[in-house]
Chain A
Amino acid sequence: MKILVTVKQVPDTATKIQIRADGQGIQEDGIKWVINPYDEFAIEEALRIKEKQGGEVVIVALGPSRVEEAVRQSLAMGADRAVVISTDAAVDPAAAATALAAVCGEEGFDLILTGKQAVDDDSAQVGPMIAANLGLPQVTVVLKLEVDEAGHRLRAERELEGATEIVELPYPAVVTAQRGLNEPRYPTLPNIMKAKKKEVRRVSMDSLSLALDPRVTVNRLFAPPERPEPTILSGEPEETAKELVRLLHSEAKVL
């Protein structure tokens, strides 16, 4: 079974983000970049399917030259090879999905796995849009995935609010991973060494000749407003309770 995993490189969630002076992006200097954690679940699931059923796991990534690091780390986890769509441009979800779908289509596959969303812009659109672009069935926010090779079908459990939905679908398909699907492995030293020798094919985004006019443009990013200093009431409980009710009613207007 040939599985493609689309991987996005994102700032480490522990990194302190600074907004660029033009307000349209973040300052990238000094940021620690990591594989999008939801994509790690997708990589792990792909590797487990391969280990059980054989086949190939190919990473497909998109972005500037820094994404090679995330690609190398994905290969060190055990993926077989990678395709990188190189671009220095800011790419909106539709453009990313169009480019990724084009490369996936050309590469050929039985299954596309990716994270349910990326933890940088949290748009959660790229997976579904790849499926739409390729005319494939999709199942998102997946917590458990079973592959029935004989029947050529997938059985997925996906998370709903307060419930689990079980979905059966044929493949090729697109599946997006939720935290809890598995526990991603860490690379072994021999796999870190092997990763350097694995094939990474680079495709320039321009060479794909796609119409990638952005549907979303970022006008301005701004930090959430600082929280005002809290009001701490002191005194007798009877008095402070009354004062609290008054504040909630007339100041905060929640009562």
Chain B
Amino acid sequence: MNNLLKDLRQGIRDLCARFPAPYWRTLDHERQYPDAFVKAMTDAGYLAALIPEEYGGSGLGITEASVILEEVNRAGGNAAACHAQMYTMGTVLRHGSAQQKQWLLPAVARGELRLQAFGVTEPDAGSDTTHLTTTATRQEGGYVIRGQKIFISRVQHSDYLLLLARTTPIAEVTRRSQGLSVFLVNLHDALGHGLTVTPIDTMMNHETNALFFDEVWVPAENLIGQEGEGFRYILDGMNAERILIAGECIGDGEFFIEAATHYANDRVVFDRPIGKNQGVQFPIARAYAQIRAADLMRFEAARRFDQDQSCGEEANLAKLLAADASWEAANVAVQVHGGYGFAAEYDIERKFRETRLFQVAPISTNLILAFVAEHVLGLPRSY
């Protein structure tokens, strides 16, 4: 293992040691945002890992960033509270103007500007992104946004929202992926000026919301790149996101396997540790094998990404395999812990709820299978 990854892992472990399980358990119970943890991650520079050095970040690759997120989840935390601050800026970095990058990226790197909300999903357009109906209508000096978004995370802990909206009606474009545009929406300006944010209660401690845009004004200088090209810009960031999320899944899987192994060694029933039973130890061993296999695919995808090679297949496979492996490990951990798997103080049930999300978001497992079938294997499009 290279020294930098080793040092990163140790650094994150040292930081996470200040935020032990009771910290996360209490937040989960109270449905609170991990402000102190996010501040520590920000101040220690980890959330600026992917921002180039010229803009005040560390200029690291997806490999390193995915290891950072992995270690947070491995330590029992939940990186989802702040992972998007790491990569949402990528759209601005790749497609923004020099001026946009100059004012935005250093502020994101310092943590003064939180850009960790990403508005794509709509009530009637989830995975079917190009059918989204939120519109941005050109007017003198800017755009007027109308429509709604759902499951938009971390809006209450963001200063800006990266928004995908339709600028040309679907009837007027030749391909439905055309006519979509990306905007930076200043949430402080928009709130009370057409934007309503309604929190959605979910089964885990994850701040997510429904957004209603009733003529929200966005100045023209907040358009990212060219009008109508937004879908391509968003797709560009997807592979990075897949690989980072795979890292979190692997971290969860490691958490579950370490917890299950520890418990199976310690817990004595019928005068012997339960881990002595093959019925207990084999599922842990199998889950471990699956995590390791997914880990290899994660590193392969990250290597290709960092070397500017095409990585759509590997990034999607890494996310699929890692999410499946973490879910399998979660189930094994609950089973090994028996009743205690359901008791909050063992943290298994909390992590179980958290890792379940990865089967659905940020991309559903079925859509990855559809991608692999169609684009990797050449099977007919199934949807």
A7 an interface residue at 8 Å Cβ cutoff? Answer: no
Chain A CB within 8 A of B307 CB:
no
When the two chains form their complex, are residues A188 and B45 in contact, meaning their CB atoms are under 8 A apart?
yes
> Is the beta-carbon distance between B7 and A192 smaller than 8 angstroms?
yes
Q: Are A186 and B15 in contact, CB atoms less than 8 angstroms apart?
A: yes
Taken residue by residue from 126 to 154, chain A's Cβ proximity to chain B (1 for < 8 Å, 0 otherwise) reads as 00000000000000000000000000000
Q: Give Cα A192 to B7, complex, Å.
A: 7
CB distance from B109 to the nearest CB of A (A): 10
B14 at the interface (CB under 8 A from A): yes
- Taking CB atoms, residues of chain A closer than 8 Å to B310 are none
Minimum distance in angstroms from B272 CB to a CB of chain A: 15
Within 8 A of A (CB), among B1-52: 3-4, 6-8, 10-11, 14-15, 17-18, 43-46, 48-49
Q: CB distance A73 to B46 under 8 Å? A: no
Q: Is the pair B7, A76 in contact by a Cβ cutoff of 8 Å?
A: yes
With the chains together, A73 CA to B60 CA distance in Å? 19
Interface residues of A in 183-227 (CB under 8 A from B): 186-190, 192-193, 195-196
Give the one of A72, A187, A189 with max B CB within 10 A. Answer: A189
In the complex, A185 Cα to B223 Cα: how many Å?
Answer: 41
Q: Which of A53-69 contact B (CB under 8 A)?
A: 69
What band does the interface of chain A fall in when counting residues whose beta carbon is under 8 Å from B? 10 to 19
Nearest B residue (CB) for A76: B7
Q: Is the CB of B4 within 8 A of A192?
A: yes
- Name the residue of chain B whose CB is nearest to the CB of A32: B10
Query: Is the CB of B58 closer than 8 A to any CB of chain A?
Result: yes
Q: Choose from B6, B11, B48, B60 the contact partner of A187 (Cβ within 8 Å).
A: B11
Residues of B within 8 A of A76 (CB): 7, 11
A-B contact count (CB 8 A): 42
Chain B residue numbers with a CB within 8 Å of A188 are: 11, 43-45
B62 nearest CB across to chain A (Å): 15
| Nearest CB of A to B60, in Å | 8
Do residues B6 and A190 form an inter-chain contact, with CB atoms below 8 A? Answer: no
Q: Could you tell me if A69 and B58 are in contact, using CB atoms closer than 8 angstroms?
A: no
Q: How far is the CA of A193 from the CA of B68 in the complex (A)?
A: 14
- Which residues on the A side are within 8 Å of B48 (C-beta)? 189
Distance in Å: Cβ of B15 to nearest Cβ of chain A? 5
The answer to whether B58 and A193 touch across the interface, beta carbons within 8 angstroms, is yes
Q: Which residues of A contact B43 (CB under 8 A)?
A: 188
B3–A189 touching, CB < 8 Å: no
CA–CA, A76 and B17, complex, Å: 17
Q: Are B8 and A192 in contact (CB under 8 A)?
A: yes
B12 to chain A, nearest CB (A): 9
Q: Chain A contacts of B14 at CB under 8 A?
A: 186-187
Evaluate contact between B58 and A189: CB separation under 8 angstroms: yes
Q: Which residue of A lies closest to B44 (CB)?
A: A188
Beyond A189-B58, A190-B58, is A69–B6 a contact (Cβ under 8 Å)? Answer: yes
Closest B residue, CB atoms, query A184: B14
What residue in chain A is nearest B59 (Cβ atoms)? A193
Determine how close the nearest CB of chain B comes to the CB of A141; give it in whole angstroms. Answer: 24
Query: Are B46 and A189 touching (Cβ within 8 A)?
Result: yes
Q: Is the CB of B11 within 8 A of A192?
A: yes
Q: Is B44 touching A189 in the complex (CB atoms < 8 A)?
A: yes
Alpha-carbon distance between A191 and B3 when the two chains are bound, in angstroms = 14
**A79 CB, min distance to chain B CBs, angstroms:** 14
Q: What's the least CB distance linking A38 to chain B, in Å?
A: 16
Q: Of the candidates B6, B18, B49, B58, which one forms a contact with A186 in the assembled complex, judged by CB atoms under 8 Å apart?
A: B18
Residues of A within 8 A of B7 (CB): 72-73, 76, 187, 192, 195
Contact A186 B44 (CB under 8 A): yes
Q: Is the CB of B18 within 8 A of A190?
A: no
- Known: A186-B14, A186-B18, A189-B58. Contact between A72 and B45, CB under 8 A? no
Residues of A participating in the B interface, judged by any CB pair closer than 8 Å: 69, 72-73, 76, 186-190, 192-193, 195-196
Known A189-B58, A192-B8; further 5 A-B contacts with Cβ < 8 A = A72-B7, A187-B44, A188-B45, A192-B7, A193-B4
A-B contact pairs, 29 of them (CB 8 A): A69-B3, A69-B6, A72-B3, A73-B7, A76-B7, A186-B11, A186-B15, A186-B17, A186-B18, A186-B44, A187-B7, A187-B11, A187-B14, A187-B44, A188-B44, A188-B45, A189-B8, A189-B11, A189-B44, A189-B45, A189-B48, A189-B58, A190-B45, A192-B4, A192-B7, A192-B8, A192-B11, A193-B4, A195-B7
Which 9 A-B residue pairings sit nearest by Cβ, starting from the closest?
A186-B14, A189-B45, A188-B44, A187-B11, A186-B15, A188-B45, A190-B45, A192-B7, A189-B46
